[in-house]
Structures are given as structure tokens and as C-alpha cells.
């Protein structure tokens, strides 16, 4: 695994600052970034599933990443893209699961694959196996918790019984509830949870898209966080990719 250098002007996960970029067409893009703490994710099995929970989450055979089991802090980095930087147009820019608080200096695209699928050996540096956010949302959840606790989709349609049941505990209702985490960000207890099993969901930048999963690393190669990059920045992660 050849790690890439992390360029601070091209990576704003976990940032609380303003930034601007001069674009090739002569215009300037400005954004103000701030972070929202989304609570803890209970990763009992260590099998992390990054997904669009309303479109790509399955009962079994989800794409997943292997981490140590445990409780992980989850943070959403929000980009204020309004012209006045007054909070009138804010979009979620990164969904991040924090592994440790060491300084990150490098990054690499991660591939969340089903357990029986091998990582392709022909991907180039700029290519990635992303998360298809067909419903404009992304989330983190534990694979084992989904298999144990979500209802059998052959018996109960998730759309009607879990996502949009019309009840206050429906996932869409909780996602819209500003008293959960924030409007558009939710930390949700899974159906039938007995030990705090949960899913964390946020909006996906400008909506539908194929978004990369990125690992950030210390200088000596230790993983610091797993991020879903919602591709809000107007520049590529590497200068040579411009």
C-alpha cells in the first residue's frame, strides 16, 4: 500500500476553519468548515459497513472494513458554501469514524468489500471502489449488528417498517429531527437493539453520487480514521491529478 501525502488545502475532514481556492476559470470558491460530534458507533464485531443506508444496506454480505471491535467516535465535517458564509447553505462534507487522535499525514482509498470478494489488483492511484449514495445519504454501521437485529426483508420491507414508517423512531424522521444530533445528522438505535447497537447517518454533500472511502494514516502508517469523502472540495486530493 503506497500512502499518499495529505495536502491540507485539499483535505478538510475534521477541520474547523475557512478556506478558499482559485479555480481555473478565474473564480474563487470559498467554504467555512465546522465539525459536529455525532456520538459513538458501537462496532461490536469490528466489521464496519460504510453505505447509503436507504439504498445499499443489505441484511447480509455488505461491503465492510475490518477494525478492532469497540466504541468509536463519529464526526461530521460540514461545509458552509453560502456566499456570505452565514450558515444559509450547509452541506455535509465528510463522515468520519475516529480510530485514534494521532496527527494524520497520509491517506489512501479504502475498499469496503463483501467478505468473499478480493481487492482488485488493477486499480490505479486515482481510482476507487466507492459508496453508491443513490438516496443521498451515507452512514456507518456494524455488519454483525445488521445481520442480528434488522428484520428479515423478505418478511418486513425496510422502507415501510424501518426507514419511513411514519413513526417517530423511523430513520428518516430521526434524520430530520434537530434534537437527535442535528438536522440531517442522526445517531439511531437499530431495531431490536439490546446493547446500544446503532447506525450513524448524515446527508451526502450535493446528494446522489459515488463517494470514496478514505483512510488517513500517521507518518509511520497507523490508521487514524475512516472517512466517507463527500467530494465537496473543488480540487482533487493530489496536485498531480488536477
- Kindly report, residue by residue over 140-185, the tens digit of the pLDDT: 999 999 999 999 999 999 999 999 999 999 999 999 999 999 999 9
> In the structure, what pLDDT confidence band is assigned to residue 224 with cuts at 50, 70 and 90?
very high
At residue 125, the pLDDT reads: 79
On the question of pLDDT at 119 being above 80, the answer is: no
More confident of the two residues 124 and 202: 202
Beginning with the edge strand found earlier in the chain, give each strand of the sheet holding 17-22 in spatial order.
Answer: 4-5, 106-110, 213-217, 223-229, 90-98, 70-80, 28-43, 17-22
Percent of the chain with pLDDT over 70: 100
Q: For residue 121, is pLDDT > 80?
A: no
pLDDT at 117 over 90: no
- Whether 126 shows a pLDDT value over 80: the answer reads yes
Cell numbers for 198: 446503532
Dump pLDDT digits (tens) for 179-205.
Answer: 999 999 999 999 999 999 999 999 998
Taking the C-alpha atoms of residue 29 and residue 11, their distance in angstroms, rounded to an integer, is 15
3-state SS, 65-79, equals EECCCEEEEEEEEEE
- Please compute the mean of the pLDDT values over residues 28-46 and round it to a whole number: 97
Separation between Cα atoms, residue 4 and residue 237, nearest integer Å: 9
* Helical residues (DSSP H) of 76-197, grouped into ranges: 143-149, 158, 171-175
| Amino acid 228: pLDDT | 98
Mean pLDDT of all residues in 38-62:
97
Q: Is residue 2 pLDDT above 90, yes or no?
A: no
3-state helix, strand, coil split of the chain in percent (to 5) is: 10, 40, 50
How high is the mean pLDDT of the chain?
94
Residue 167 has a pLDDT of 94
Grid coordinates representing 145 are 449488528
Q: How far apart are the first and last CA of the chain?
A: 22
Q: Which of 41, 90, 96 is nearest to 69 (CA)?
A: 41
C-alpha cell at 187: 445517531
pLDDT for the residue 31: 97
Residue 124's pLDDT band (cuts 50, 70, 90): confident
* 74 and 200 Cβ atoms separated by less than 8 Å: yes
Q: Is the pLDDT of residue 105 over 90?
A: yes
pLDDT of 44:
96
Q: Residue 120's pLDDT is what?
A: 74
Amino acid at each position: 500500500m503506497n500512502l499518499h501525502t495529505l495536502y491540507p488545502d485539499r483535505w478538510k475532514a475534521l477541520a474547523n476553519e475557512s478556506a478558499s481556492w482559485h479555480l481555473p476559470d478565474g473564480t474563487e470558491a470559498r467554504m467555512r468548515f465546522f465539525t459536529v460530534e455525532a456520538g459513538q458507533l458501537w462496532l461490536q464485531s469490528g466489521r464496519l459497513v460504510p453505505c447509503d443506508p436507504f439504498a445499499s444496506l443489505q441484511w447480509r454480505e455488505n461491503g465492510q472494513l475490518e477494525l478492532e471491535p469497540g466504541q468509536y467516535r463519529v464526526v461530521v465535517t460540514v461545509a458552509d458554501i453560502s456566499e456570505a458564509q452565514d450558515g444559509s447553505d450547509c452541506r455535509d462534507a465528510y463522515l468520519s469514524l475516529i480510530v485514534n487522535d494521532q496527527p494524520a499525514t497520509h491517506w489512501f482509498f479504502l475498499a469496503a468489500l463483501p467478505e468473499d470478494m478480493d481487492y482488485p489488483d488493477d486499480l490505479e492511484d486515482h481510482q476507487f471502489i466507492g459508496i453508491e449514495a443513490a438516496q443521498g445519504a451515507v452512514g456507518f454501521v456494524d455488519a454483525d449488528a445488521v445481520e442480528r437485529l434488522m428484520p428479515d426483508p423478505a418478511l418486513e420491507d425496510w422502507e415501510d417498517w424501518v426507514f419511513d414508517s411514519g413513526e417517530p423512531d423511523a430513520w428518516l424522521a430521526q434524520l430530520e429531527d434537530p434534537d437527535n444530533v442535528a438536522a440531517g445528522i442522526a445517531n439511531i438505535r437499530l431495531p431490536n437493539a439490546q446493547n446500544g447497537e446503532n447506525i450513524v447517518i448524515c446527508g451526502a454533500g450535493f446528494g446522489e453520487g459515488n463517494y470514496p472511502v478514505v483512510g488517513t494514516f500517521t507518518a509511520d502508517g497507523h490508521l487514524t480514521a475512516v472517512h466517507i469523502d463527500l467530494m465537496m472540495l473543488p480540487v482533487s486530493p493530489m496536485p498531480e491529478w488536477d
